[in-house]
A and B are shown apart, each in its own frame.
Chain A
C-alpha cells in the first residue's frame, strides 16, 4: 500500500523554567493509506507531543529541533503558514484531546461549522454549509435538527466527541488525527465511538491516526501500532503481531498489565517502578531502570530500532 505520511527522526522539546523536556526524541514511522495507526503510551510519555509536532500545533514554549514530516512529497515542517493553511483541515484534520473543552461554550454547534468554513477561505454559500453540517451530524449518528442548534453544555461528553469528529470531516480530509478519542468517556460511549470510527474509515476511505493510553482500545481499532515510552518509539508493527507476541520488555509489561475480561487474572501484573521524568531522562535506553533484562550496554547508549522482519521494529538490544 502507498505510504501517505512519513515521519522521519522528529525531535521536539518543551522549554520550561527547570530546563528542557525532551518529549519527542527521534521518532520515525510511516503511515499507509486507508489504515488505522495507533500510538500507545502512558500519560506524559510524549505521545500527544508527537502528533502536535507532526501537525505543527505545539504550544508556544516548544521547539521542533529536527526531523521531517513528508506528505505528498512535501515536508510539512518547511511549508509557509499560507501553504500549511491549505493542507490543514482540508487534507489533514486533527481532533484534539478533551473534546469537552475544545468547543466554544458561547457558540451553537452550527456556528462552529460556519466558523470553520469561513476560516479556510472557502466561498461556500451559507445554506450549503448548513446542508453539509446536517449531513455530517447525521453521519456520526446524531439528530441534526436538535444538535446543530444546541450549545456545547447541552450535549453529553460522547455527543461532543462525535460533533468534533463531524466537524473535522467538513472538507473531506484524507487523514484524520485523533488525540485520545475515547478517554474521559464512559465504557458504553467508548465502544460506540470505536464502532463509529471503524465505520467512518470504511465509508470515507480515511486514514486514521490516533493516540491512546489504553492498549485494549488500540487492539479493537488499529491495524498498526507504535508503543511510545518516554519520548521514544520502542516497538512498532502490525497490531496483531505486537499484541500476540510483544518483543520489547516494556510492551510485554504493558500487555501483561491489561485488566481485561479475557486475560488470565493470575498473570496480570503491573510494571514495577515509575515512568521517568522527561526533564532528566535516564541514560541509554530510557526503560532500563524498570527493565528485568537490563545489561551494561543498555545504560550507556540508546538502542537503535532493530528490524525483526519487513514490518516489525523494536528498540532493544535483546534483538541485536
Chain B
C-alpha cells in the first residue's frame, strides 16, 4: 500500500482558558485523515468548527492534545530534530490573510530569492531564473515587472499569488492553504483556486484547502478530489467530491448545500433552504458522547444525544457519521425542478 504523505490519527485538540475557573473548549475530536501523493482535499465548515486548528495541527504549528501525526510515514514525535527541520520544508502553509503574511519592506525578489537560495543552495543567474519561473507559475507576469516591487504594490489577489510562490520555494510535497480566497476580490478567487489545481496536477503537490464555501470546494476538488465536512470539531462526512455534492448523506452537509446561494434567479426563487430546529453552535462537552449536530438536526432521536456516531462507510468513496444516513429521505437538490 502506498505510504500517505500526511496522516492524522485520532487527533483531539482541547484549548483551556482561565486560571482559577478552567474552561475547556474542544476544538477537534478524534480526527482521522490520510492524504496520499497528489491528493486534493477540501475541508469545509462554518467558522468555529475547527478548520483552522486542523490545518495548523497538520503543519505542526499547533500540538494536538491527543493523537498521532505522521508525515511521509514517520511519526513526527519520534524523528530527530535534524530530520524534522528537513521534513518541515516538505509541508508548507499558505496563510489566510495575504495583507498580513508578507513582509512589507522586502521586495518581491527578496521575498522569493532568500528562501530559494537557502533551501536549494543556488545563487546568481540560476537563482534569478528560478524566481522568474515561480512568478510565471503563479501568474505574476511579466516577472521582470514585479521583481523590484513591494507587496503594497499588489492587489489582494497578487499578494496571495506571491504567498503561494513563497510556499513553493521549498519545493514542498504538501501544501496546506487556510482560506486563501476569503480576503480576495470576487473576480480573482477562481484564479487562485485554478493555480492550486495546476500545482496539484502538474507538480504533483498534495493540497489541503480549507474553505467555508462549498461551491468553491467543489470547483477545487471536482474530478478526483475529496471533500471533508467539519462540524463541531469532527468530520461528519468525507469522500469523493462529486459523490458528496451529488449525494450528501449527513443532514448538516445537506443544509450547507441548500444554503449555498446559486446565481440563477429562476432556480433561486424556487429554492428551499432546509430550516434547522435552532441555530445554536454545536454542543461540545468533555467526556460526553453525543452527535454534535443532534440539537439542531431535524431527524435526531434519543440515540443521537447518547451515543457518538463514528464515521461509517457507505461505499468505498463515501463515509458519513450519522446513525440514520440510510433512513433519511432521498436527496433532491433544492434547486431541481422536480
Interface residue from A158, A216, A259 paired with B219 (Cβ < 8 Å): A259
Interface segment among B23-31, B124-132, B187-195, B310-318: the answer is B187-195
Between B157, B187, B192, B262, the greatest number of chain A beta carbons within 10 A of the residue's beta carbon is seen for B187
Q: Which of B211-268 contact A (CB under 8 A)?
A: 212-216, 218-219, 222-223, 245, 255-268
Check A42–B245 contact: CB distance below 8 A. no
Check A243–B260 contact: CB distance below 8 A. no
| Closest chain B CB from A254 CB (angstroms) | 6
Q: Does B20 count as interface, using CB distance less than 8 angstroms? A: no
| Contacts known (A187-B259, A187-B260); A259 close to B190, Cβ less than 8 A | yes
| Closest chain B CB from A188 CB (angstroms) | 5
Check A213–B263 contact: CB distance below 8 A. no
| Contacts known (A188-B256, A192-B279); A213 close to B262, Cβ less than 8 A | no
Q: Does A253 count as interface, using CB distance less than 8 angstroms? A: yes
Q: Does A43 count as interface, using CB distance less than 8 angstroms? A: yes
| Closest chain B CB from A269 CB (angstroms) | 6
Check B46–A261 contact: CB distance below 8 A. no
Q: Does B185 count as interface, using CB distance less than 8 angstroms? A: yes
| Contacts known (A187-B46, A191-B273, A275-B187); A261 close to B263, Cβ less than 8 A | no
Q: Does A204 count as interface, using CB distance less than 8 angstroms? A: no
Chain A interface size band reads 35 or more
Chain B contacts for A261, CB-based, 8 A: 214-215, 218, 245, 257, 260, 262, 333
Chain A contacts for B258, CB-based, 8 A: 191
Q: Does B74 count as interface, using CB distance less than 8 angstroms? A: no
Check B186–A188 contact: CB distance below 8 A. no
Q: Does A240 count as interface, using CB distance less than 8 angstroms? A: yes
Check B273–A195 contact: CB distance below 8 A. yes
Interface residue from A194, A217, A265, A275 paired with B185 (Cβ < 8 Å): A275
Check A216–B187 contact: CB distance below 8 A. no
Using CB atoms, name the residue of chain A closest to B280.
A156
| Contacts known (A219-B264, A219-B265, A240-B265); A262 close to B186, Cβ less than 8 A | no
| Closest chain A CB from B182 CB (angstroms) | 10
Bound together, the chains give a CA A319 to CA B199 distance in angstroms of 39
Chain B contacts for A186, CB-based, 8 A: 46-47, 212
| Contacts known (A220-B262, A240-B266, A269-B190); A259 close to B157, Cβ less than 8 A | no
| Closest chain A CB from B30 CB (angstroms) | 24
Chain B contacts for A257, CB-based, 8 A: 186-190
Q: Does B158 count as interface, using CB distance less than 8 angstroms? A: yes
| Closest chain B CB from A44 CB (angstroms) | 8
Bound together, the chains give a CA A219 to CA B267 distance in angstroms of 9
Q: Does A268 count as interface, using CB distance less than 8 angstroms? A: yes
Chain A contacts for B192, CB-based, 8 A: 270
Chain A contacts for B70, CB-based, 8 A: none
Q: Does A271 count as interface, using CB distance less than 8 angstroms? A: yes
Q: Hey, what's the 0/1 contact readout for A264-293 against B, CB within 8 Å counting as 1?
A: 010011111011000000000000000000
Bound together, the chains give a CA A215 to CA B271 distance in angstroms of 16
Q: Hey, what's the 0/1 contact readout for B160-193 against A, CB within 8 Å counting as 1?
A: 0000000000000000000000000111111111
Q: Hey, what's the 0/1 contact readout for B270-284 against A, CB within 8 Å counting as 1?
A: 010100100101000
| Contacts known (A187-B213, A270-B194); A254 close to B261, Cβ less than 8 A | no
Check B265–A217 contact: CB distance below 8 A. no
Chain B contacts for A220, CB-based, 8 A: 261-262, 265, 268, 271
Q: Does B120 count as interface, using CB distance less than 8 angstroms? A: no
Q: Does B335 count as interface, using CB distance less than 8 angstroms? A: yes
| Closest chain B CB from A190 CB (angstroms) | 7
Interface residues of B (CB under 8 A from A): 46-47, 154-158, 185-194, 212-216, 218-219, 222-223, 245, 255-268, 271, 273, 276, 279, 281, 333, 335
Q: Which 7 pairs across A and B sit closest by C-beta, in order of nearness?
A: A270-B191, A191-B259, A216-B261, A270-B190, A271-B187, A186-B46, A274-B155
Assuming A220-B271, A272-B191, what are 20 further A-B pairs, CB within 8 angstroms?
A156-B281, A186-B47, A187-B213, A188-B46, A188-B276, A192-B273, A194-B261, A213-B185, A216-B262, A216-B263, A220-B262, A240-B266, A243-B264, A244-B265, A259-B189, A260-B262, A263-B263, A270-B189, A270-B190, A274-B188
Interchain residue pairs with CB less than 8 A apart (13):
A158-B279, A187-B214, A187-B259, A188-B259, A188-B276, A216-B261, A220-B262, A261-B214, A261-B215, A271-B191, A272-B191, A275-B185, A275-B187
